[in-house]
Amino acid sequence: MSLSLDLAVEAWPIAGAFTIARGSRTEATVIVVTVSDGEHRGRGECVPYARYGETVESVAETIRGLDLDGLDRQELRRRLPAGAARNAVDCALWDLEAKASGRPAIVACGHIAARPVETAYTISLGTPDDMADAAHRAGERSILKLKLGGDGDAERVRAVRATAPRMRLIVDANEAWSEKNILENMRACAEAHVELIEQPLPADADEMLRDIPHVAPICADESLHTLADLDGLAGKYDAINVKLDKSGGLTEALDLLRAARARGYLVMVGCMLGTSLAMAPAVLLAQEADIVDLDGPLLLARDRKPSLAYVGTLVEPPPAGLWG
C-alpha cells in the first residue's frame, strides 16, 4: 500500500489564559497529519511541547522526513522515537485503518464498544482567590484538577476546598515542589482529601519520594513517557499519567497502560492542550483508566467540527466523522 502524508500547523485560541508552573499562554498550537492510501484518509493531531525539547518546527521537520515506504504502526515505532511527531502519525494510521477496513478503532483496541468517560476539569494556576473563583464557576463538574506552582500551594488547595467542599480534587504541580515545601503541601492535600498528586518534584530530583509518606497516590507525568520508563518508578510513584504526545501514539500507550496496570499502578489518561482530534484516540485509551483528564477542548475558545461531545462531566466516544 502506497501512502501519502500532508501536514498542517494550526493555532487555536484558549478561552482566557492557561497557566501552569512553567508559564502562561493564550493559544494552543497543534500539528495535524493526514495520511492517505489514495482512497481513504486518516488524521492525527499532536502538540509539540518545549519541556521535552520539541518545537513546532522540529516536530514538523521530523514528520516531513519520515520514510513512508512499508510504513505501518509497528514499523513507525522503529522509525521514530516517542514524542509528538510519532503520535500524530500513529493516530493518523489508526484512523486510516478504521476507515479503510470499516472496523472502528475501539474494536482494534480490544473492546466491543466505547462508553462515555468522566473527565476532570482543569483550574489554571493563580492566586488562592482566583483559583477558588474558578472552582466556583466550574459549577457541577465533579472532579477538579488544580494546577499548582510550589510556594503558596497549601493556601491554593485550602481556598479551593473551602469553595468546593463536595468536589473531588486532584492536583498537578508540574515539577514545581521542592524539598523545602513538599511536606507542607502534602499536609494541605491530606487535609483537603486530595485524591491524586501529580508530578510534585522535578523528574531528575524525585528520589525523595521513596522516603516521605504518600498522603495520596503520587502520579508520574514528566517522569514517565514510555514502557521503558516503568522500571524506574518503583518505590516512588503509585500511579502514572499516560499521554499520547509523550508515548508517541495510541499503539505505545495501550501497551504502557496495560503493563502499568499489571504492575499495580493506578492509571490516569491525560492530554496536552489540543482540540477534539487530539482527544479522540485518548478517549479510547481512557476506557481502561482509573482517572481521566481529557478536558483540552473545554479550555479552548472554540473547537474543530465535528467535535467530541461533552455532556455534564462526561466525554462521549468520538464520532466516526472526527476520528476512528
What span, in angstroms and rounded, lies between the C-alpha atoms of 76 and 59? Answer: 15
Assess contact for 125 and 118: CB atoms under 8 A: no
What span, in angstroms and rounded, lies between the C-alpha atoms of 24 and 2? Answer: 42
Residue 180 is among the residues annotated as catalytic for this protein = no
Within 8 A by CB and 6+ apart from 192, the residues are 157, 158, 160, 161, 169
147, 180, 236, 246: the active-site residue? 147
Burial of residue 153 (CB within 10 Å: 0-12, 13-18, 19+) is buried
Assess contact for 268 and 241: CB atoms under 8 A: yes
99, 145, 243, 246: the active-site residue? 243
φ, ψ of residue 92 to 5 degrees: the values are -65, -40
Conformation bin of residue 312: beta by default, left when phi > 0, alpha when psi is -120 to 50: left
Within its chain, how far is the Cα of 313 from the centroid?
17
At position 278, the amino acid (one-letter code) is A
Beta pairing partners, 28: 12
Beta pairing partners, 269: 242, 292
Residue 246 is among the residues annotated as catalytic for this protein = no
Catalytic positions are 147, 243
